[in-house]
């Protein structure tokens, strides 16, 4: 395992796994930190040589312990799990926030030869936390990346969703892909509905088993680990009373999204 610093709070972990190397953009894996916990992570990249990478933000005991690990320390891997994004041709818009940029970067690499044009809106709190900007600039032609930061330290000073409506009002897109904080994705979904554009969103929920048994990741009638994590606009309409509004805690109770 190799470790790469991406920001003050995010590290990329790179390892070999022949099964996860077959993953498609949008799928996730379960990473086990021995003696601590097992956590779900979106796949950042998967290559034919067996190399797999994930981007991990330090937010709790498990991820903090993972961040403290050094090159060549042991981790456990299960996966890949879930479905993947549908690769569409034509005019594509990707909207990502925080570590949600990771699976969208994976997708953008796959779409590079298919999409007529790909526009990427990315957001973070600060320039230091804006992930993979260099890689995106290599993939997307000049002028097709809109970067936002909440403190204005890079790009436009605003949330990632703020440039979205003016863009949709003047340009036609065939598909919107989004991943990031769920409150952000709900705004993206609402705008996609307003402008009648197809959308796929990658959801994050509490996942323990990744096989649909424990029910901790339920949203409406769906289990995110088995039916997702990628959901279409049609599916999100069915769970609009929960999407961007509530989630389930470790006891299975619905709690408001923050």
pLDDT in tens, 52-110: 999 999 999 999 999 998 888 889 999 999 999 999 889 999 999 999 999 999 999 99
- Euclidean distance between CA atoms 107 and 88, whole angstroms: 10
Q: Look at the alpha carbons of 115, 24, 96, 140 in this order and tell me if their dihedral is positive or negative.
A: negative
Contacts of 231 (CB under 8 A, 6+ apart): 200, 201, 202, 203, 222
Q: How far is CA 163 from CA 4, 42, 160, 227, in A?
A: 31, 26, 7, 31
pTM reported for the whole predicted model: 0.95
- Euclidean distance between CA atoms 192 and 186, whole angstroms: 10
How confident is the model at residue 244, as a pLDDT? Answer: 94
Contacts of 8 (CB under 8 A, 6+ apart): 128, 129
- Among the residue ranges 11-25, 93-107, 140-154, the one predicted with the least confidence is 140-154
- Euclidean distance between CA atoms 79 and 63, whole angstroms: 18
Count of C-beta atoms within a 10 Å radius of residue 233: 16
In the CATH scheme, what is the code of domain 85-200? 3.40.50.80
Mean of per-residue pLDDT scores for the chain: 93
How many residues does the structure list for the chain?
A: 258
**Is the predicted pLDDT of residue 142 greater than 80, yes or no?**
no
How confident is the model at residue 248, as a pLDDT? Answer: 86
Confidence category of residue 249, pLDDT binned at 50, 70, 90: confident
How confident is the model at residue 208, as a pLDDT? Answer: 87
Which of 71-75, 167-171, 247-251 has the highest average model confidence (pLDDT)? 167-171
pLDDT more than 90, % of the chain: 79
Q: Which CATH architecture has domain 2-81?
A: Beta Barrel (2.40)
Q: How many angstroms from the chain centroid is the CA of residue 111?
A: 16
What strands, in cross-sheet order, belong to the sheet with 10-16? 2-5, 10-16, 51-57, 45-46
Phi then psi for residue 231, to 5 deg, are: -125, 145
pLDDT tens for residues 228-241? 999 999 999 999 99
Q: Where in the chain do CATH 3.40.50.80 domains reside?
A: 85-200
Q: What is the mean pLDDT of residues 20-35?
A: 96
Q: What is the mean pLDDT of residues 193-198?
A: 97
How confident is the model at residue 117, as a pLDDT? Answer: 85
For strands 51-57 and 45-46, give the pairing. Answer: antiparallel
**Is the predicted pLDDT of residue 114 greater than 80, yes or no?**
no
């Amino acid at each position: 395992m190799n470790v790469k610093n991406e920001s003050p709070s995010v590290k990329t972990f790179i390892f070999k796994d022949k099964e996860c190397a077959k993953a498609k953009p949008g799928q996730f894996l379960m990473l086990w930190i021995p003696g601590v916990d097992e956590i779900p992570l979106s796949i950042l990249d998967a290559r034919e040589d067996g190399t797999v990478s994930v981007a991990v933000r330090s937010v709790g005991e498990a991820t903090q312990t993972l961040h403290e690990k050094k090159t060549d320390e042991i981790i456990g891997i299960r996966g890949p799990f879930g479905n993947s994004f549908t690769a569409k041709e034509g005019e594509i818009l990707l909207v990502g926030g925080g570590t949600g940029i990771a699976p969208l970067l994976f997708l953008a690499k796959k779409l590079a030869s298919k999409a007529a044009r790909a526009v990427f809106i990315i957001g973070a709190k600060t320039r230091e936390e804006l992930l993979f900007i260099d890689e995106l600039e290599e993939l997307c032609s000049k002028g097709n990346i809109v970067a936002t930061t909440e403190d204005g330290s890079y790009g436009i000073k605003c949330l990632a969703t703020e440039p979205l409506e003016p863009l949709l009002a003047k340009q036609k897109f065939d598909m919107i892909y989004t991943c990031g904080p769920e409150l952000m994705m709900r705004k993206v979904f609402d705008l996609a509905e307003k402008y009648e554009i197809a959308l796929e969103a990658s959801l994050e929920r509490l996942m323990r088993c990744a096989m649909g048994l424990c029910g901790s990741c339920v949203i409406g009638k769906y289990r995110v680990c088995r039916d997702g994590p990628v959901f279409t606009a049609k599916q999100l309409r069915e769970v609009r009373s929960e999407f961007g509004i509530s989630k389930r805690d470790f006891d299975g109770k619905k709690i408001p999204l923050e």
